[in-house]
Amino acid sequence: MRNIKLVLEYDGTNYHGWQTQPNLPTVQGTIEDTLAKLTKTPIQIIGAGRTDTGVHAEGQVANFQTDAQIPVVAFQKGLNAILPRDIVVCSAIEVPPEFHSRFSATRRRYRYTILNREYPTALSRQTSYFFPTAIDAPRANVLCQVLVGKRDFSSFQKTGSDRINPICEVYEVSCSRKGEYVYFEIEADAFLRGMVRAIVGTLLKCMRKDDAETGLHRILEAKDRAAAGTSVPAHGLSLIEVKYNAKTVFVA
């Protein structure tokens, strides 16, 4: 069996997240249906990140196993010819049998995009969150550094999540501005469900207070979702990169 690694870009607006669900359109299900048409056999694809409903991706990674003797470049071209226009295969390579897009990943990076001006947008309304209150990006960037490190992020985990271990190591958090858009980026070894959206919502709430750093520390120490701020909407979030050790993804 060959192991094929894909890098994917998609607009999550029309999908109920990545993971296949009965009678609902999902990114995984759409790709699997397309692969079945291409290879004439059922195929299960594994994603590096289980993005939620409405969340986008610029660098989602997935892999699947197949005995089809289609040239690897034809997987990219063939899938792009059949997939709906809101899902694109950026690259396809053959990788070692042991490569697993989810379990082999060492880091994931997400970006949250905010339109920060007095009026909304007609053009990027599905990929950015309109927030009219002025954001002090340098101030927010300083506050972001409180989150760097390995700790319990239970305060930012979606209620009802089935993940047992709430410990994550956050390597980098930043806030920057480019024109009317503000970007929060977070890179970590793992993410709890809803973690990025809860963090951004909490940062937007805390940054306007004089004791913002102290307040954020208290929220982390509480290990209670009720202590943090309201989550921002899904449509501003995008999975932009998944990282691996080089030895796990060499071309077979």
Question: How far are the Cα atoms of 7, 56, 122, 191, 249 from residue 51, in angstroms, in the given order?
Answer: 14, 7, 24, 11, 22
Q: What is the pLDDT along the chain (252 residues), one digit of tens a residue?
A: 999 999 999 999 999 999 999 999 999 999 999 999 999 999 999 999 999 999 999 999 999 999 999 999 999 999 999 999 999 999 999 999 999 999 999 999 999 999 999 999 999 999 999 999 999 999 999 999 999 999 999 999 998 777 789 999 999 999 999 999 999 999 999 999 999 999 999 999 998 888 999 999 999 999 999 999 999 999 999 999 999 997 666 554
Q: Which of 103, 134, 152 finishes a domain?
A: 103
Which CATH number goes with the domain that contains 93?
A: 3.30.70.580
Same structural domain, 212 and 116: yes
- As a whole number of angstroms, the longest Cα–Cα distance in the chain is 62
What is the structure's pLDDT at 237? 98
What is the structure's pLDDT at 110? 98
Q: Which listed residue (52, 136, 189, 210) is catalytic? A: 52
What is the structure's pLDDT at 162? 73
What does the alpha-carbon distance between residue 250 and residue 252 come to, in Å, rounded to a whole number? 6
H helical segments located in the chain: 27-39, 72-82, 137-144, 195-206, 212-222
- Parent domain of 229: 107-240
Same structural domain, 91 and 211: no
Same structural domain, 113 and 232: yes
CA of residue 100 relative to chain centroid, distance: 17
What is the structure's pLDDT at 252? 44
Number of folded domains that form the chain: 2
54 contacts: CB under 8 Å, gap ≥ 6: 12, 13, 15, 17, 233, 234, 235
Total residue length of the chain: 252
**Would residue 252 count as lying in a domain?**
no
- Secondary structure of residue 172 in the 3-state scheme: strand
Burial 146-179 (b: 16+ CB within 10 A, else e): bbbeeeebbbbbeeeeeeeebebebbebbbebee
Q: Which of 70, 103, 136 finishes a domain?
A: 103
**Would residue 248 count as lying in a domain?**
no
What does the alpha-carbon distance between residue 241 and residue 228 come to, in Å, rounded to a whole number? 26
What does the alpha-carbon distance between residue 30 and residue 14 come to, in Å, rounded to a whole number? 11
Which residue type occupies 85?
A: R
Verify whether residue 52 is a known catalytic residue. yes
Closest CA to 238 of 158, 140, 128: 128
What is the structure's pLDDT at 210? 82
Same structural domain, 95 and 116: no
For strand 105-115 and strand 237-244, is the pairing parallel, antiparallel, or unpaired? antiparallel
Which CATH number goes with the domain that contains 119?
A: 3.30.70.660
